[in-house]
Structure 1
Amino acid sequence: MATAPTRLQVLALYKQFIKNSKQFNNYNFREYFLRRSRDSFKQNMALQKPEEVSRAYSDAKEELGILKRQAVISQMYTFDKLVVEPLNNKHHH
């Protein structure tokens, strides 16, 4: 029987997903992975059985490895800013 990860471990993994998703240069990929990460973690919040939580956590760790590799590859290419993107990080509302 696998031991379920702690809440802190899951939150740390979630933060890594968000951090790595934000590293994509392409707006569409970045927003897709941010949305997918949030949705995936929200969906798995309902898991109750320790075995299910452990399996989801292990799967997420594998997916994080893939996400990290893809983010590095993404940084090798430059893309023009899209109309929907702010021109700078100091965007005022």
Structure 2
Amino acid sequence: MANSKQVLSLYKQMLEKAYKFDNYNFREYAKRKIHNSFKEHKGLTDEKEINQFYNQGINSLAQLHRQTTISQMFTFDKLVVEPLKKHH
């Protein structure tokens, strides 16, 4: 059974993976989708539904891992909307 700490940890892990996308559009889409999904399921109280959501999240985390790995194999030109990295 998944508790709130495990769900929060899953949320953080998924966001960390989403930030690893090199492509701005993929990165922003993944972040938005993760945030909206967890926000939508915030009020779940039934243990069975919570476990089902948690298990789906674990599968999605594995999928994100595969997608970010593939994304890092290719280079993309930076878009105009992307912030530039500051050099010190």
Which TM bucket (shorter chain)? over 0.9
State, as a whole percentage, how many aligned pairs show the same letter.
48
Q: CA RMSD in A?
A: 1.2
Aligned residues: 87
Unaligned runs of 5+ in 2: none
Q: Name structure 1 gaps, 5 residues minimum.
A: none
Within the candidate set 6, 9, 13, 1:12 is matched to: 9
Which residue number in structure 1 is paired with residue 78 of structure 2? 81
Superposition map of 1:1-93 within 5 A:
3=1, 5-88=2-85, 90=86
For the residues of structure 2 that align with 1:11 and 1:60, how far apart are their CA atoms?
11
TM-score normalised per structure 1: 0.90
Q: Give the structure-2-normalised TM-score.
A: 0.94
Is the partner of 2:49 in helix, strand or coil?
Answer: helix
How far residue 46 of structure 1 moved from its aligned partner, in angstroms, is 1.4
Separation in 1, partners of 2:4, 2:51: 12
Large movers: runs of 4+ above 4 Å: none
